[in-house]
Amino acid sequence: VVYTSQYPIFFVTADIAVFSIIEDEFRVLLVRRSAEPESNKWALPGGFVDPDEDLVNAAKRELEEEAGAKFGGVLLEQLRSYGAPNRDPRGRVISVAYVGVLPTPSDPTAGSDAAEARWQPVDRLLADSSGLAFDHDLIVRDAVERVRSKLEYTTLATAFVGSEFTLSQLRRVYEAVWGAQFDAGNFQRKMKRTEDFIEPTGNAQPAPGGRGRPAATFRARQHGVMPLLNPITR
Amino acid sequence: VVYTSQYPIFFVTADIAVFSIIEDEFRVLLVRRSAEPESNKWALPGGFVDPDEDLVNAAKRELEEEAGAKFGGVLLEQLRSYGAPNRDPRGRVISVAYVGVLPTPSDPTAGSDAAEARWQPVDRLLADSSGLAFDHDLIVRDAVERVRSKLEYTTLATAFVGSEFTLSQLRRVYEAVWGAQFDAGNFQRKMKRTEDFIEPTGNAQPAPGGRGRPAATFRARQHGVMPLLNPITR
DNA sequence: GCAAAAGTGTTGGGAGTACACCCATGA
DNA sequence: TCATGGGTGTACTCCCAACACTTTTGC
């Protein structure tokens, strides 16, 4: 195909850092690249945006194509763009990065249906400086920071759990993402006191492992990510 | 010029929402477009990124070219990208938007050196739904929100004042950006108590208008924008 | 009964708010 | 001496953190 233009030409990709809590660990979805450049390296799912495609739709499409699974419940929010002149050998490529959050999958292998996809624990990834393709290292780092800070002052945590959840499940989200321990009792009061965050469903769920008092379940009071009046701390 | 490509082609602009406090008002810099499309409309300064130019450098260059002034002390941080398929009639254009913060200019007309540039009060702009070119309305809205929230939990406020400032000047930043009144005494204690934010210079400055006790001056303890441990409220 | 997890009570400390009050300067 | 803005003192409230304690379940 041949184009003419009076302006400099760029290519644009959408790359997605999708996070979830799996086995009580904060993890990010990686895929192994099968084509050049950076073939065989682990990378964030992503790819070139189509000519008439909205950016967020491109992110969603690439995510499902590359991970080989449907992510109906995924929450996507734009992070920022990465456009250093030599970040990609194929030319001047701008990556519009998205942060995604997925509820803990009931099937813990979902997203690993693709031969080469895996949920990588974030702590290990950041510690190893990892050798991801392109500048995906940097993108993951920024995405992790975004998620950690949005947990504090928005309702983002509910995107990590199903539509009906116990306060312990919600607490484990904060503990996994922040790598910190919470006092279960205080956490409970804090969540209930926070306006416009959660509401009781009236149902209960048996404690994990069978032993223990069943927990009341809650649902998010609002859809999407909303700011909180008072931050969640610790 | 003729290019060939196997990937969809995009053009990329850098657009900047620069804010400052002028006459105790929270304002944003606008320029009047002289060329098609959207000729004669007010818009954010910005333009096409050069083929081998870093995004943030493009933002800085366009800002100075379009506003016709040097902005040495400007702080630039990427906001996000805007890439709806039909946002620009010239083709598929991705705008990488930046938020800028400039200390109150000693010459209040700086940036208006260009025939058609002006510092527009943010409140009026948001109230009027404004009719800026392209989707710059939306960009300004997002940029304002970013600045307002970053004031709360980072050291961003110091970017609005000079390198040496009084606590009243800093308070007026919060008051102008948030449109709220602060108790001067409590504000003072809060700033001094907040770790790693400001430090005394040992100097003093006469009160504005001459009357009143001179104010001690402070400087930012850190360069750039750093997260605060405790948010600034009210 | 015992262990485990859910959930409540209680208490002490620290931060925010309101507002009174003192300080330093120019006119 | 007065007006003005800078800066401190004080008391009240609310939230948070720690931790003891009660409740409800399975074994």
In chain A, positions 133-162, which contact chain B (CB-CB < 8 Å)? 149, 153
Give yes or no for A89 touching B (CB within 8 A): no
Among B187, B207, B205, residue whose Cα is nearest residue B197 = B187
User: Shortest CB distance from A94 goes to which of B12, B48, B153?
Assistant: B12
Give yes or no for B53 touching A (CB within 8 A): yes
| Å from the B207 CA to the D4 C1' | 9
B69-125 pLDDT per residue, tens:
788 889 999 999 999 999 999 999 999 999 999 999 866 554 444 558 899 999 999
8 Å CB contact between B29 and B20 = yes
State how far residue A224 is from chain B, nearest Cα, in angstroms.
17
Residue type, B48: F
Prediction pTM value: 0.93
Neighbouring C-beta atoms of residue A34, cutoff 10 Å = 11
A193 touches strand C (CB under 7 A): no
Specify the 3-state DSSP secondary structure of B200: strand
How far, in Å, CA of B45 to CA of B134, rounded? 12
A71-92 pLDDT per residue, tens:
888 999 999 999 999 999 999 9
A3 — pLDDT class (breaks 50, 70, 90): low
Neighbouring C-beta atoms of residue B2, cutoff 10 Å = 7
8 Å CB contact between A64 and A70 = yes
8 Å CB contact between A67 and A111 = yes
How far, in Å, CA of A147 to CA of A101, rounded? 9
Give yes or no for B229 touching A (CB within 8 A): no
Q: What are the beta bridge partners of residue A195?
A: none
A166-178 pLDDT per residue, tens:
999 999 999 999 9
User: Which residues of chain A lie closer than 8 angstroms to B83, CB-CB?
Assistant: 12, 49, 54-55, 96
How far, in Å, CA of A154 to CA of A160, rounded? 13
Total residue length of chain B: 234
A168 touches strand C (CB under 7 A): yes
Angle between the A167-178 and A136-153 helix axes, to the nearest 10 degrees? 140
Give yes or no for B91 touching A (CB within 8 A): yes
| B194 nearest nt, CA–C1' | C15
A200 touches strand C (CB under 7 A): no
